[in-house]
Structure 1
């Protein structure tokens, strides 16, 4: 099952994809894709619907992020060994956790706004894990039971802010528009193995990233369990699980970064695609 949200920013309504791939409006059935809906029982109720009987979403309607702004937008750093190598950093012994500001959270096709004066805004395609059932100190063998579904995340990053502006990654990760998410929440029953997903990113039509989640250092169930030791996970929380190689910072001999007027396109097999225009600067 694929769920999504549609409409103007701040006024999104819930939606569901029917068996033919058409986008249907769910607002006559549920008010929001909230904790009740993200529970196993809530998702089962939606799965029992005949989605084809629901109103169509008009063509051209904006697609928003697939869940409301999460309590915790959690990211994992250096979770692909080959990305750590291109960054010139050693493979971490434990997952690196940082938080992305809630105000960075945006729709999958919304513009990326390059901050004023930024020269090092970068792209990062990532598998997002959307929590359905919250908790703390979740056992690893039960971790996937706490997952409602999966999505695409672009962990947009300003490298100067991240690396050379005082030693905290959050500065380079939380600018407005730096968290495009979606288009869909794809329920976990449609993703039997989250460690077997191809993911990619293009800039102006040039393929920059090609990867597969099987090369993660720490897999999804490990991450859900590990993060829950330090942060109580809530329904709708998102864990962005790291990026494969091919980011702009790692290009040799000279890094390449985003500038206004470009197009970023990215996706994950079975989870959908995003397309963003870059503005600002």
Structure 2
């Protein structure tokens, strides 16, 4: 299944709705399936992933709405955590000239970074080095602590596409070398278009991943290059903090980022960035 959040363009209340996006492109409104839930995260918290999927399945044959009548939103809003893994592609480690990390390197973004799959990316006045990073993201389905890697799949609600927008000057040379400010400015994490459930992803470690800027291919790799796999990342993070429904884990970016081009290349206002992960979808965001 492919879960989304959306608004109807003709709905003056601008209410957030939970939906299913069908292979036809149409959207099934699940408002009747989850009448007491204000968001997908809320429904996930109340019901748990298995019950949520089962209830959605009961309504999956309902009338489809045209995508043109809807605004697709971020599939998860206001997560308790947005955790990210750095240097987690072997080919990206080669690009940076840094050794493969023996343990996952985690950093964080703020919930205010989350925006929709087609929303604009704000260009902050404080940076001159705005960069792109396409990523596969994991959405947690239920509460967990000290999770074993062999059972981590039970805690995953699904997968989505994320763009880890980064201000390189604030990541590398400002703020004392701490990454937070360079990674966590408002609007620095578009995600979507939907959350694809694990039953539709045979192997999350064998997916093509790419990024285009103004139509030009910049990143082109595979999740087979992940240093620490999806389940290992979930398990490792859970040693340090309790994972909650709706938490988002960005699993790293492949080579081809602007900072390591020769000469370095950075985004400018008007640029359009497309991040794509096989079997999940494309997010498209313009820098403004």
| Stretch of structure 1 that moved more, 115-124 or 203-212 | 115-124
What is aligned with 2:21? 17
* Paired positions, count: 277
Q: 2: distance between equivalents of 1:139 and 1:61? A: 40
The corresponding residue for 2:189 is: 179
- In structure 1, the partner of 2:82 is 73
Structure 2 residue 179 is the aligned partner of structure 1 residue 189: no
Instruction: Give the drift of 1:44.
Output: 2.0
CA distance in 2, matches of 1:61, 1:96: 38
Alpha carbons of structure 1 residues 158 and 94: separation in structure 2 relative to 1, 3 Å? same
Q: Distance in 2 between matches of 1:200 and 1:84?
A: 17
SS of corresponding position for 2:196? strand
Residue 173 (structure 2) pairs with residue 169 (structure 1): no
Tell me the CA shift for residue 19 of structure 1: 5.0
Please name the residue that 1:248 is paired with: 258
Inter-partner Cα distance in structure 1 for 2:202 and 2:91: 25
In 2, Cα distance between the equivalents of 1:37 and 1:183?
Answer: 22
- Superimposed CA distance per residue, residues 230-274 of structure 1 (whole angstroms, 9 cap, x where no aligned partner): 11100010100000000101111x110000011111111110111
Q: 1:210 aligns with which of 212, 217, 220?
A: 220
1:199 to 194, 209, 218: 209
Q: TM-score, normalised by structure 2?
A: 0.92
Cα deviation for residue 121 of structure 1 reads 0.6
Q: CA distance change for structure 1 residues 222 and 90 in 2, over 3 Å: closer, same or farther?
A: same
SS of the aligned residue for 2:192 comes to coil
State the TM-score, normalized to the length of structure 1: 0.94
Q: CA RMSD in A?
A: 1.7
Corresponding residue for residue 93 of structure 1: 102
For the Cα contact (< 8 Å) 1:24–1:57, is it kept in 2? no
Instruction: Provide structure 2 residue ranges, at least 5 long, that are not aligned to the other structure.
Output: none
Give, in whole Å, the separation in 1 of the partners of 2:211 and 2:96.
17
* CA 1:71–1:117: 2 relative to 1, 3 Å: closer
User: 1 CA distance for matches of 2:16 and 2:48?
Assistant: 17
